[in-house]
Structure 1
């Protein structure tokens, strides 16, 4: 159980503790669909509501300042990754790396198979690297560009890429989230492959069928797909870039360094440096132009564009706001108050699994962090699983099939910001086709009903056997 840090002042009732969560969601939805403001305004509103409640119940200003700063500070690492990914994309555009991958990829992959190939490549790469962000940062941009050349729906290509990337993020033996699930549930990592693949494998096979079918259909209906080699993007690439084979080495280097477990910040920095060297010595770009592109982003006749550290300013503010909000909720004790209130109402395995999925996805939405969607429900709900005699493997599967995979579908979640930035396709665009990410929680909830029915059947069998054993006439 997570202990509330909100010492001093009056206890905060459950119905009050839920208000900042509701305010944050309402604020985010309002700025997206009604006001067209930057996303961080929604979380700043939720933070302000949380601070107001905490002050009203006697939490001191010093405690709230400490919580806000501590929560924001915990996001600095993620912000570093976000900014370096933005710099990598710009450097690799300018170096000819991404254009070359698009150019040569078009000669190898037919449009009919691009979508399912994107899913398979992303799944395989993520199983090796254990990270969806690293996977999409190295090969996602090029595949998204190939999809644009073929005239394929970016939502479908993006959905295939993020679905494949999350296969390894969820299940790879070198994935941080995979081991975090084991640690927070008190299980052994090697024992968790079976429960994870029980739902993961059938959904993966279903995704193969769906992406194969939809990709083939979209390619057949695409006017550009029949003449991709004469497309404006490809002509622009051929006219503006030198395309020797070695300009494609930066992603390979990043993949190798990731496989060798080189820290991600250092790895991405090397990727930027390698791209800058190629831009200067192969493409003949002035160093000043390279630095300008890394800072402001790359744009070539509105055909090839993306990246840039400065355009990430709003996302940085969003991440800082999310961290500050989470810090206030934890320091004031509202987080633990709300969770304690939920746990008192759980009396069977079905409601326990449903609560796990709900809490995990809620944490992904409100705390805007994939790790917290594992840590909070994992630590909080494990004693309840023990109390009800439910296997901890059910907790493992419930976490892996909820917050872990749903995080990239929440536009303001840090994971979604990183992955959508890497491939240049908005989360709201690719969401309908991210089959692996939203089918898994639905399947897990469905199986919870089946589990309840099985337990009820077992109880009936025991009662029947008891009545037979104690029947005087027998």
Structure 2
């Protein structure tokens, strides 16, 4: 990372973005309340739907009382997304969101779940599952999860499909090794979620690179988090399970 940073240093451009935000909105400690609510309720393990509802309700109240938007405007923001006046310099930066903007993501998740159900009912991946069931150690499970996530992300071309199919294919292997769903979800988070974004034709990589007009493959060496996270996790699991076993007394 140091070598890449030295080769491609970040160049800073002077701008008055902070001043423009202050001129457009009223900024004080109250605007942090919705984010603080999410953090506090997550610590108390409150259901995410309840946390989000309370946070959104609080943010909407702040928009009306502090930012002086009308209730109608806030409702439009929630449904269609937020957008400033075209004359505002922040117009191209602060925009988007809304329930309508999520319909594509919701459709992808629906299709992914439908595919998973079809594969489960028809046993289309039975042979693949039998191969994955051969994993008998913690580090091989993680390795198989990583390989499965790469294949599903490459063929599914979508991060959501990769996550759901990887969970479907690996769940029995984790169950047979008496590893709970929490560890499975962590492994999927450290493999399928991040690895999908380094496959150029996957939506997780294709959309950002297209929008930012950068090379579909040139960004990969700089996306160190995406591939170092699974590598570091695999290394940690491997040395924890294999190398440290030699210090344990022989069961025989």
- TM-score over 0.5 (shorter chain): yes
Residue of structure 2 equivalent to 1:435: 224
Task: Summarize the Cα distance change of 1:347–1:289 in structure 2 as closer, same or farther, 3 Å threshold.
Answer: closer
Task: Tell me how far 1:284 sits from its aligned partner.
Answer: 1.0
Show the counterpart of 1:338: 128
Q: Secondary structure at the match of 2:127?
A: helix
The yes-or-no answer on 1:222 pairing with 2:6 is no
Please state whether the residue corresponding to 1:262 is helix, strand or coil. coil
Distance 1:292 1:433, change over 3 A: farther
Change (3 A) 1:244 1:264: same
Superposed, 1:275-354 pairs within 5 Å as: 275-300=59-84, 301-341=91-131, 343=133, 354=143
| Correspondent of 2:192 among 382, 397, 407 | 407
Aligned to 1:274: 58
Matches for 1:66-77 after TM superposition, within 5 Å: none
RMSD: 4.6
- TM-score when normalising by structure 2: 0.64
TM-score by length of 1: 0.37
Distance 1:338 1:302, change over 3 A: same
TM-superposed deviation, 1:312: 1.5
Measure how far apart 1:292 and its partner are.
0.8
Spell out, residue by residue over 1:360-410, the C-alpha distance to the aligned partner (whole angstroms, 9 max, x if none). 554677573647645642532665x7xxxxxx89x99x9688532133332
> Which structure's relative contact order is higher, taking Cα pairs within 8 Å and 6+ residues apart?
1
CA distance in 1, matches of 2:69, 2:191: 41
Query: Which residue does 1:355 correspond to in 2?
Result: 144
Structure 2's unaligned 5+ residue stretches are: 85-90, 198-202, 247-252
Q: Secondary structure at the match of 2:119?
A: helix
Distance 1:408 1:299, change over 3 A: farther
Which has the larger share of helix? 1
Indicate conservation of the 8 Å contact 1:296/1:310, yes or no.
Answer: yes
- Count of residue pairs brought into register by the alignment: 216
Q: Which residue of 260, 266, 287 maps to 2:44?
A: 260
Deviations 1:181-215 (A, max 9, x none): xxxxxxxxxxxxxxxxxxxxxxxxxxxxx48x949
* Structure 2 contact 132–173 (Cα < 8 Å) conserved: no
1:152-185 per-residue CA deviation (whole Å, 9 max, x = no partner) reads: xxxxxxxxxxxxxxxxxxxxxxxxxxxxxxxxxx
Q: Report the CA distance shift for 1:450/1:247 in structure 2 as closer, same or farther (over 3 A).
A: closer
Q: 1:368 aligns with which of 155, 161, 166?
A: 161
Contact 2:116 2:165 in 1 (8 A): no
Question: After TM superposition, where is structure 1 displaced by more than 6 Å over at least 4 residues in a row?
Answer: 346-353, 428-431, 444-451
Q: How many angstroms does 1:340 deviate by?
A: 1.6
Q: Distance in 1 between matches of 2:18 and 2:238?
A: 52
Whether the 8 Å CA contact 2:141–2:173 is kept in 1: the answer is no
2: distance between equivalents of 1:357 and 1:323?
Answer: 20
- Partner residue of 1:242? 26
- Deviation of 1:307 (Å): 1.5
Q: For the Cα contact (< 8 Å) 2:142–2:187, is it kept in 1?
A: no
Query: Using a 3 Å threshold, how does the CA distance of structure 1 residues 288 and 339 change in structure 2: closer, same or farther?
Result: same
**Which 5+ residue runs of structure 1 have no aligned equivalent?**
1-209, 225-230, 386-391, 459-474
